[in-house]
Amino acid sequence: MRLSRYFLPVLKETPSEAQIASHRLMLRAGMVKQASAGIYSWLPLGFKVLRKLENIVHEEQMRAGHIPMLMPTIQSADLWRESGRYDDYGEEMLRIRDRHDRDMLYGPTNEELITDIFRAHVGSYKDLPLTLYHIQWKFRDEIRPRFGVMRGREFYMKDGYNFDLTKEDALHAYNRHLVSYLRTYERMGLQAIPMRADGGPIGGDYTHEFLVLAETGESEVFYDSEITDLRFGEREIDYDSVEQCQAVLEEFTSRYARTDETHDEAIFNEVPEARRRSARGIEVGQIFYFGTKYSEPLGATVQGPDGKPVPVHMGSHGIGVSRLVGAIIEASHDENGIIWPEGVTPFHAGIVNLKQGDAEADAACEALYASLTALGLEPLYDDRDERAGGKFATMDLIGLPWRITVGPRGLKNGVVELTSRKTGESEEMPPEKAIEKIAEIYAPHHRSVAVEPMQQRSFHTWL
């Protein structure tokens, strides 16, 4: 993309309504624009990041054997009356009446709808196990929408639902989700710690929230500092293996890590004092096993091996896709702007032309642009007729991990400059060498940042 043809409405002033860094930077970098309280338009740069996160979520869900689909945003109140949650959900549910006076609502979550689909189409235990998921907009009429996309009213969420014959099978699905979530967040360059949590209106005894530690987080958390040393990393996992998934769950949940709702001072005090931490965290996901809580009232049964109908065991599993955009920025920025982890960056590298209109500089930039594009990478070329300082400030603000700076002086010596956004370090090298380095950084064998073939295509084509 050439910046002269793009739509990147960066703001010079710091917006006064934004209290935290991610909100400020998303507004300043032209990623979102508030449409009304807690509701945002995603401008091109923000939309690109949102799609990258969505891609990672899809890939990791499908890798775990979960099946993508799409349910609507608007739901009928009837199903929620059947489950008993129409009244329970309270003020957070946006209730709508259609022209025929039917009660409708904008879905805050989808347990009822998915259970209705299941009961209509699945009849036998032989069709299990089954995990279906979708990524769809949700609406919760939050009393205090704030922090930009972190606590919106309309937000984008992956929610998945497992259906199993027995509690044991459903707990394997729970563990499988935990593993796939660990991989998902690590690919986004984040450490999200599973912490024992409270069921809330969704209910259930088995539940973990995934928290990204950040001072601006809304959750209070308590943990054993040893847990921050754990990484899922490059290990291979067989998602069908009950033992392997269970072992990962044990590894990642055996140390003390709880949100304030489940915090237990007596147990916490058994952790050696030097390792006891209390901090703030951003909830970026949650997994639940809730047994037959919805399948019983909604009649989601299958014929068991003995021919008798049994209610299925269920769980639901959510990732806050739009909140993650903010969470990643909270975890990765400095005073000059965002620092995108390579796995989610909207463009792989920026090209800054120090002297637009200079024949040699223009030609060198075009050549770099063509080479990066040929590699399947997306460069953002600042080809505007602007002074260098302004170009650098924009690149720093929007946070691309790598910048190639091209100017007539360097070109005389056959070099361009490659700069890391994270460390600020620059190195002069011939243009081919800069391309080689960037290609290496995004090469497929670096699984955590790889531009996998699937990611290069539009997300519609690979589902």
Query: Closest residue (Cβ) to ligand ATP?
Result: 320
Q: Which is nearer to Mg ion, 34 or 286 (CB)?
A: 286
**For ligand ATP, which stretch binds (CB under 6 A), given 48-56, 184-192, 318-326, 336-344?**
318-326
Residue 219 lies near Mg ion (rule: CB under 5 A): no
Structure token digits, residue 154 = 């309309």
* Interacting partner of 142 out of Mg ion, ligand ATP, none (Cβ under 5 to 8 A depending on kind): ligand ATP
Distance CA 196, CA 207 (A): 6
Please report, as a single letter, which amino acid is at residue 427: E
DSSP string, 406-460: E-HHHHHTT-EEEEETTT--EEEE-HHHHHHHHHHHT-TTSTTT---HHHHS-TT
Residue 353 lies near Mg ion (rule: CB under 5 A): no
Residue 178 lies near ligand ATP (rule: CB under 6 A): no
Residue 207 lies near Mg ion (rule: CB under 5 A): no
Residue 151 lies near ligand ATP (rule: CB under 6 A): yes
- Per DSSP, the three-state class of 260 is coil
* Interacting partner of 362 out of ligand ATP, Mg ion, none (Cβ under 5 to 8 A depending on kind): none
For the bound state, the minimum distance from the C-beta of residue 106 to Mg ion, rounded and expressed in Å, comes to 18
User: Which residues, in sequence order, are CB contacts of 422 under 8 Å at separation 6+?
Assistant: 339, 401
* Interacting partner of 396 out of ligand ATP, Mg ion, none (Cβ under 5 to 8 A depending on kind): none
Residue 152 lies near ligand ATP (rule: CB under 6 A): yes
* Interacting partner of 285 out of Mg ion, ligand ATP, none (Cβ under 5 to 8 A depending on kind): ligand ATP
Residue 92 lies near ligand ATP (rule: CB under 6 A): no
Question: Which residue of 15, 72, 84, 200 would you call a contact of ligand ATP, by CB under 6 A?
Answer: 200
Distance CA 275, CA 290 (A): 32
**Which residues face 136 on adjacent strands?**
157
What is the H or E stretch that residue 317 is in? strand 313-320
Name the H helices within 74-189: 77-83, 85-88, 111-121, 167-187
Report whether 40 contacts 154 (CB < 8 A).
Answer: yes
Determine whether 28 is exposed, middle or buried from the number of CB atoms within 10 Å of its CB (0-12, 13-18, 19+): buried
Q: Which is nearer to Mg ion, 55 or 286 (CB)?
A: 286
- Per DSSP, the three-state class of 310 is strand
Interaxial angle between packed helices 44-63 and 321-331, expressed in degrees from 0 to 180 and rounded to the nearest 10? 110
Residue 189 lies near ligand ATP (rule: CB under 6 A): no
Question: Which residue of 40, 106, 133, 155 would you call a contact of ligand ATP, by CB under 6 A?
Answer: 155
Report whether 393 contacts 377 (CB < 8 A).
Answer: no
* Interacting partner of 323 out of ligand ATP, Mg ion, none (Cβ under 5 to 8 A depending on kind): ligand ATP
**Ranges within 52-91 binding ligand ATP (CB under 6 A):** none
For the bound state, the minimum distance from the C-beta of residue 317 to Mg ion, rounded and expressed in Å, comes to 10
For the bound state, the minimum distance from the C-beta of residue 137 to Mg ion, rounded and expressed in Å, comes to 17
For the bound state, the minimum distance from the C-beta of residue 349 to ligand ATP, rounded and expressed in Å, comes to 30
**Which residues face 337 on adjacent strands?**
334
In degrees, to the nearest 5, what angle opens at C-alpha 8 toward C-alphas 2 and 142? 145
Residue 323 lies near ligand ATP (rule: CB under 6 A): yes
Distance CA 255, CA 250 (A): 9
**Ranges within 102-121 binding ligand ATP (CB under 6 A):** 109
**For ligand ATP, which stretch binds (CB under 6 A), given 123-131, 278-286, 371-379, 447-455?**
278-286
Residue 286 lies near Mg ion (rule: CB under 5 A): yes
Distance CA 213, CA 331 (A): 8
Q: Which is nearer to Mg ion, 285 or 401 (CB)?
A: 285
Residue 320 lies near ligand ATP (rule: CB under 6 A): yes
Q: Which is nearer to ligand ATP, 204 or 285 (CB)?
A: 285
Residue 127 lies near ligand ATP (rule: CB under 6 A): no
Determine whether 155 is exposed, middle or buried from the number of CB atoms within 10 Å of its CB (0-12, 13-18, 19+): buried
Residue 142 lies near ligand ATP (rule: CB under 6 A): yes
Residue 286 lies near ligand ATP (rule: CB under 6 A): yes
Residue 284 lies near ligand ATP (rule: CB under 6 A): yes
Distance of CA 15 to the CA centre of its chain: 25
| Chain contacts with ligand ATP (rule: CB under 6 A) | 109, 140, 142, 151-152, 155, 157, 200, 283-286, 318, 320, 322-323
